[in-house]
Amino acid sequence: MTLTRGARITGAVLCAALAVIVGGWIVRDLGVLDDPLGLWRFWTGGGQRGAGSARLATTLETLLLLAVYVCVGAAALRPNAGAAAPAVAGIVTLALWLPGLWVLSSSWMDLRATGDLRTRALYCVFAATGLGVGLLIVAAAGRQVPSLPLRPQRGSGLLAAVLLGASAVVLAGWEIRAAVRSGGTSCLDRFTGSESVMLPPLGTPPGWLAAVIALLAVVAGSAALSQAAFARPLGLVSALLILGQGARGVDAAVGDDLVPRLGELSGLDQLLVLSWLFEAAAGVLLLVVLARREPAVRPVYGWAPGPPPPSRPPPGW
b/e burial code for range 161-172 (CB count within 10 A of at least 16 → b): bebbbbbbebbb
Among 65, 74, 87, smallest CA distance to 234 is for: 87
**Radius of gyration from C-alpha coordinates of the chain:** 23
- pLDDT higher than threshold 60 for residue 47: no
Cα 87 to Cα 82: distance, rounded to the nearest angstrom: 10
The pTM for the full model equals 0.88
127 against 304, higher pLDDT: 127
Tell me the domain boundaries of the chain.
5-291
- pLDDT higher than threshold 70 for residue 148: no
**Under 8 Å CB-to-CB from 309, ≥6 apart: which residues?**
317
Mean predicted lDDT score pLDDT of the chain? 85
% of the chain exceeding 70 in pLDDT = 85
Which residues are registered as beta bridge partners of 2? 82
% of the chain exceeding 90 in pLDDT = 50
